């Protein structure tokens, strides 16, 4: 009787939430020029609210049934063995890197002073874990019009201290995974794919289409609102390696050695029957720590939203591709003004944004274009840090001349810092908005002519 009453009450609350969605969120006024066009944002319907309310009524709060459902569903969607949810894409990068420093990896572990090849034209949390641990980032330039790492400089970046490559697929455009994986395999290096901006992108590897984020030793993902799908905050790490999965799980969950899920004890049957380190024999395995870890789990409510979003992901990806192509077609005859973006060979990008690099600023500067777009209600973004080593966080390292290496002078990275911006292609945009973006750019370029 109690279960029936609880079910009726639950349905009543959920029905009220759906009514709220239909009254408040479902209606959307038609776009008209002058309305703000965001570069990104959350796209949702009533199912996200249903899941969110359902999870909140359980009041489990930490990871539970929705988190487990999402981890299995996301791994299945990508075609990878393991998925571990975390509280952000930045935390995913932190845990993926720190897992490679684990003593459990023996001679292959990354130690302080070892080197990791990366790029400066990107988001800082791809690089931050390397520096925070005490390893040495080795910065390689990127190429236009793909905005990805210049693989012709990899051999130059290699040294006896190199242990890994950690780079992102820039705004959804896969980097040259064939060349980089071959380089890593040949030199015994770890490969971390920062896939936070590229969920749904694919690349042909060994003659087969594979999802990016599943080809390296780790792939990392972000579920921040502007990304391909959202939990509000949230991220994930994927791997096909059982040992790496166990290390990440330990680091994510306080560094503990025990693998019991939250709320469950003694799933191994040996909770008080073993000896660890110099602890007394039989010490409670739930409080044995094999790593210096963190608590970077998601909440159950975040995971519940993610489960609803995951069902929409294929449609989100197709909308991004469509919007990107509309912009590319609409600006195709403006190559005298812009370097227009191009997909990497052997790839099928799931675009995060549409990149534009002004040609040397001779006719219209990047700053003038940004001013014009923003004035007309079109939100713009830089390619994140532009050149990360020019930022204040690198001031002390620049003064000391230690802590990182640079291959060459990074001329393309500096050009991106000066001359590049990007526009949104997220599923919340419609063709009227895309047409307005194209017309606004063309208006400025026409006046410049």
What backbone phi and psi angles, to 5 degrees, belong to 197? -105, 10
CA angle 194, 195, 200 (to 5 degrees): 170
The rounded distance, in Å, linking the Cα atoms of 200 and 446 is: 36
Instruction: List alpha helices for 228-299, DSSP H.
Output: 242-252
Catalytic residue among 82, 169, 217, 227: 227
The rounded distance, in Å, linking the Cα atoms of 385 and 144 is: 17
How many C-alpha atoms does 174 have within 13 Å on its Cβ side? 29
The rounded distance, in Å, linking the Cα atoms of 420 and 338 is: 9
The rounded distance, in Å, linking the Cα atoms of 414 and 6 is: 61
Q: How many CB atoms lie within 10 A of CB 62?
A: 14
Residues 48 and 56 sit within 8 Å (Cβ to Cβ): no
Residue 228 known to be catalytic: no
What backbone phi and psi angles, to 5 degrees, belong to 83? -135, 130
Compute the chain's Rg from CA coordinates: 24
Residues 215 and 203 sit within 8 Å (Cβ to Cβ): yes
Instruction: For tokens 């791997």, name the residue.
Output: 239
Number of H helices, E strands in the chain: 13, 16
**DSSP one-letter code for 355:** E
Smallest CA-to-CA distance from 193 within 170, 213, 164 is with 213
Instruction: Just list the catalytic residues.
Output: 227
């Amino acid at each position: 009787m109690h279960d029936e009453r609880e079910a009726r009450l639950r349905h009543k609350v959920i029905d009220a939430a759906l009514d709220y969605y239909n009254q408040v969120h479902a209606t959307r006024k038609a776009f008209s020029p002058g309305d703000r066009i965001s570069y990104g944002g959350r796209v949702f319907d009533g199912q996200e609210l249903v899941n969110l309310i359902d999870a909140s009524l359980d009041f489990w709060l930490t990871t539970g049934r929705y988190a487990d459902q999402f981890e299995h569903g996301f791994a299945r969607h990508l075609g990878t063995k393991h998925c571990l949810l975390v509280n952000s894409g930045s935390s995913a990068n932190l845990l993926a890197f720190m897992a490679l420093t684990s003593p459990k990896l023996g001679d292959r572990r990354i130690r302080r002073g070892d080197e990791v090849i990366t790029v400066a034209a990107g988001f800082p949390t791809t690089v931050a874990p390397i520096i925070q641990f005490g390893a040495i980032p080795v910065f390689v330039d990127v190429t236009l019009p793909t905005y990805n790492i210049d693989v012709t400089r990899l051999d130059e970046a290699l040294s006896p201290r190199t242990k890994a490559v950690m780079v992102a697929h820039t705004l959804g455009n896969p980097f040259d995974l064939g060349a980089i994986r071959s380089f890593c395999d040949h030199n015994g290096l770890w490969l971390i794919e920062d896939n936070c901006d590229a969920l749904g992108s694919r690349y042909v590897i060994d003659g087969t289409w594979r999802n990016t984020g599943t080809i390296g030793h780790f792939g990392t993902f972000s579920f921040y609102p502007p990304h391909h799908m959202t939990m509000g905050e949230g991220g994930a790490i994927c791997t096909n390696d059982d040992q790496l999965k166990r290390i990440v799980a330990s680091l994510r969950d306080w560094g503990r050695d025990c693998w019991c899920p939250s709320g469950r004890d003694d799933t191994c049957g040996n909770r008080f029957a073993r000896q660890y380190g110099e602890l007394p024999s039989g010490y409670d395995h739930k409080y044995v720590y094999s790593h210096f870890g963190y608590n970077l789990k998601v909440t159950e409510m975040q995971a519940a939203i993610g489960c609803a979003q995951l069902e929409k992901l294929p449609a989100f990806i197709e909308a991004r591709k469509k919007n990107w192509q509309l912009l590319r077609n609409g600006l195709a005859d403006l190559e005298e003004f812009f370097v227009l973006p191009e997909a990497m060979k052997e790839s099928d990008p799931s675009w995060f944004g549409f990149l534009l690099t002004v040609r040397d600023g001779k006719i219209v500067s990047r700053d003038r274009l940004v001013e014009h777009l923003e004035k007309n209600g079109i939100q713009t973004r830089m390619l994140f840090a532009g050149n990360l080593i020019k930022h204040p966080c690198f001031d002390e390292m620049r003064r000391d001349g230690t802590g990182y290496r640079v291959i060459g002078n990074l001329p393309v990275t500096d050009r991106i810092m000066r001359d590049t911006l990007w526009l949104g292609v997220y599923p919340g945009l419609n063709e009227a908005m895309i047409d307005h973006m194209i017309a606004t750019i063309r208006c400025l370029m026409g006046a410049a002519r």
